Amino acid sequence: MKPFSILLLRSTVFFCLALLAIVSCKKDDDDGLPITNDLRVLQVNTEGNAITSGATDLSVISAFELVFSHGLNTSAFEAALSITPDADYAIAYDATNSLVTISFNTPLAYETEYTIRLPQGAYGAGGAASTGDFVFTFTTAAFEPPGLSLQSDESGFFEGETLTVTAKLDRAILEEVSMELVFSGSAQGEGVDYSASAASITIPAGQTTGSIELTALPDGDLEGEETITIALTNIVNAVEVSAQMLTVTLGDTPPSLEIAGVLSLKIAG
């Protein structure tokens, strides 16, 4: 066989082998990612991260992004979408109507499994349909109570003065925090030596402090220094950082300062 013929034969064989390899790879690719015009949810995101069905420990104020393969017929989509247990939510879309954001108007329940469901149907703007139900489950995180401490703006006060007692959380939460106050000590409450503006403190959701005022009442008696001790009980949605026992002192009305005489100073000149 002439050299040119041998070279041509080798080239032909190499070309055929290369073509066979390309066709084989293309088939493998098609088997892994079939070409389809079916409507699909490509990805679910929350807080900037992709998650899969069955995700746990999610925030009760999470928002979800559903990435679809097609732009949606929004009215058909919203009519078919459901979330159980019932939740108060809102839906927003990007310019293509293929990115759906589900946000919640009120926090979800703690430590609860939720299901986002979209039955099989034609929800694409061009009539594209899904081939099966879309079902996505997630579970919210357990409630973690914040730490609670009790403090006063002064360590003590005198008759006729007012002192502020404040309950403080180490972080804000989405729930209201409440507690009752237990008064003790050598000073008598209930309008005898002092009065309290309230016997409980409530910290609204989203805030970190709540307070009451103590007013020391003048009685004209010289009793010496007395104490007021305050403890907490029936705490709801918080835990004491350590056993809280706040003690402040209450003193008699301090004597007024009087000037007995007038100092005269003459400079000779």
| DSSP, res 89 | E
Structure tokens at 59: 């925030």
Residue 238's nearest CA partner among 147, 176, 170 is 147
Q: CB of 202 within 8 A of CB of 250?
A: no
Cβ(181)–Cβ(200) below 8 Å = yes
Taking every pair of C-alpha atoms in the chain, what is the biggest distance, in angstroms? 142
Pull the structure tokens for residue 98: 């293929």
Nearest to 94, CA basis, from 52, 66, 127, 117: 66
- Cα→Cα distances 55→48, 64, 190, Å: 14, 12, 54
Q: Which of 140, 158, 188 is the C-terminal boundary of a domain?
A: 140
Same domain, 240 and 215: yes
- Same domain membership, residue 118 and residue 151: no
Q: What is the pLDDT along the chain (269 residues), one digit of tens a residue?
A: 455 454 454 555 455 555 555 544 444 444 444 567 899 999 999 999 999 999 999 999 999 999 999 999 999 999 999 999 999 999 999 999 999 999 999 999 999 999 999 999 999 999 999 999 999 999 999 999 999 999 999 999 999 999 999 999 999 999 999 999 999 999 987 878 899 999 999 999 999 999 999 999 987 676 688 999 999 999 999 999 999 999 999 987 766 665 555 555 555 54
Q: Which H helix or E strand runs over 103?
A: strand 99-104
Residue 23 inside a domain? The answer is no
Q: What is the pLDDT of residues 2-35, one digit of tens each?
A: 554 544 545 554 555 555 555 444 444 444 445 6
DSSP symbol at 146:
P
pLDDT at site 26: 47
Residues 135 and 226 in one domain: no
Looking up residue 64, the CATH number of its domain turns out to be 2.60.40.3710
